[in-house]
Copies of this chain bind each other. A is one copy, B any other.
């Protein structure tokens, strides 16, 4: 168990453009800041940076809204083209009421607006989630590991809302080099009693820790969490997605 963590933002990452290699943008910024990554660091990267670099950006002028999208947008004061992108990115609608669409994305994430978002994107465009967040995390890890000659973990993260609680928190979409779930079942507590149902989503907790230094308005789309080396290893973000058959809320 880590008893100490250090979390710091990577300063000076430029705006990502289509075709950029996210790992290069971030590694360059780390070097310019006189910093380096070390073994067991966890690099947390905002989904938006990855989406921009991968061209997961949609020009709204090119989108022809369906009748469903137009009706919904008109009824709820939303943009029809953006609504159309949300519906295209969804493989199933979980809730569609009060002007909010909660849907399951093609990856299996359940979130508001299928992760489609216009903030920090040029006017007239929206960002969608990366096609394959685990693949994005893998490529990012390869690039930064080569640059800094060390073994690290990478999390591609986005802020999601939750039922029952106000506010969004950062969660791990893509994971590479990290066991995202720490399964304490079978370990004993202080009374020697087995812990029965405790699996901690450490990747989500690490993403949340990083968000505190990243900030949505400050152009800090990456942060390093140092001290979480006990969880580095093999793992994917897919492990964090609960299978539909095990879920009580969809």
Contact = CB atoms under 8 A, between A and B. Distances in A.
B165 A171 contact: yes
Contacts of A228: 212
A76 interface: no
A34 interface: no
Interface residues of A, number: 77
Contacts of A3: 8-9, 11, 213, 220
A234 interface: no
A212 B5 contact: yes
Contacts of A167: 180-182, 199-202, 204, 240
19 contacts: A1-B218, A3-B213, A4-B7, A4-B213, A5-B7, A6-B6, A6-B7, A7-B209, A119-B198, A166-B199, A166-B239, A167-B181, A167-B201, A168-B198, A184-B216, A184-B217, A189-B216, A198-B216, A209-B209
B242 A166 contact: yes
Contacts of A162: 162-163
Given A169-B201, A204-B165, A6 B5 contact: yes
Is chain A's binding surface mostly helix, strand, loop or mixed?
Answer: loop
Given A5-B212, A208-B208, 8 more contacts: A1-B220, A5-B7, A97-B248, A119-B196, A123-B191, A165-B171, A166-B239, A209-B209
Residue from A1, A97, A159, A208 with most neighbouring chain B CB atoms (10 Å):
A208
